[in-house]
Amino acid sequence: MSDALVDDLDKRVLVYLRDGRFFLGYLRSFDQYGNLTLEDATERVVVNDEAFADIPRGLQVFRGENVVLFGAVDSEQRELEFLRKLRRVTEEEIRRMEQAVAEDHAALRRRERLEWPAFDDGAL
Amino acid sequence: MFFTAILRTLIGEDITVELKNDLSIRGRLEAVDQYLNVRLAQVQVHTAAAPPVLQLLHGSCTVRGSCIRYIHLPVEKVDTELLQEATRRVAAATKETQTMK
């Protein structure tokens, strides 16, 4: 297995974490626990499949247990395709959009609780 | 170790891995280790609501064993009778070493 992983060293990889976050960066090291080190890492935050922001994170180590999958993204074509579909925005803008989505969800939950009080948390 | 051995015989075949976060990934099995970490080539994400960032994956992709819920194997590539016999043999061998202790 680790023989195969050596192929990814020095490549730009995508790391998908258990909390749903995505990081892109150059794979510099890994070990038998699945711990990873990315250089020039950026966190890619996507909201509603329509906008995204790349947040610079520098040199970052990931503890193996948090990683779902990772793999090379050595293709400009895929990146261009992604850029065609989603709009790049600033970090402030993406945080505002995240906030708006979270508030929408909260409002929906409040409405559900009014309409279906029996299903309210703790009632069942 | 036994399951690793089974999967090793399927290297080069197309398998589908379903993750605990409901993501379904299909690809050609390249490598597998004792934790059932799997490495897939030519990955395709099958889930409809999959995050678009995953479309960036190109070539091989490594999936952590502890995040896997199911692995769907091509049934015609696995001799289930042989598998059953092998399991019996391994179980008997394990029992033998335990009674020796």
Q: Tell me the CATH number at A33.
A: 2.30.30.100
Name beta bridge partners: B29: B40
**Calpha distance B10→B30 (Å, rounded):** 9
- Picking from A46, A72, A75, the nearest residue to B53 by CB comes out as A46
Which range marks the domain in which residue A45 is found? 2-116
Q: Establish if A12 touches chain B: CB-CB under 8 angstroms.
A: no
Residue B35 has pLDDT above 80, yes or no: yes
Residue B54 has pLDDT above 80, yes or no: yes
Asked if residue A122 is part of any domain, the answer here is no
Q: Is residue B50 part of a domain?
A: yes
Quick check: is A123 in a domain?
A: no
Number of domains in chain B: 1
Residue B15 lies in a domain: yes
Shortest CA gap A38–chain B (Å)? 15
Contact B40, B68 (CB under 8 A): no
pLDDT given for residue A119 in this prediction: 67
pLDDT at A124: 52
Contact A82 B55 (CB under 8 A): yes
Using a CB–CB cutoff of 8 Å, tell me whether A6 touches chain B. no
Neighbours of A94 (CB within 10 A): 20
Domain that holds residue B55: 2-74
Question: Are the beta carbons of A4 and B60 separated by less than 8 Å?
Answer: yes
Instruction: Indicate whether B90 belongs to any domain.
Output: no
pTM summary value: 0.86
CA angle, residues A57, A58, A59, in degrees to nearest 5: 115
- Within a 10 A sphere around the Cβ of A27, how many other Cβ atoms? 22
In a domain, A121, yes or no: no
The CATH number given to whatever domain includes residue B14 is 2.30.30.100
Q: Produce one character per residue of B13-36: b if its CB has 16 or more CB atoms within 10 Å, e if not.
A: ebbbbbbeeebbbbbbbbbbbebb
Total tally of structural domains belonging to chain A: 1
**Smallest Cβ distance to B64: which of A20, A24, A67?**
A67
Closest approach of chain B CAs to the CA of A14, in angstroms? Answer: 7
Q: Is the pLDDT of residue A123 over 60?
A: no
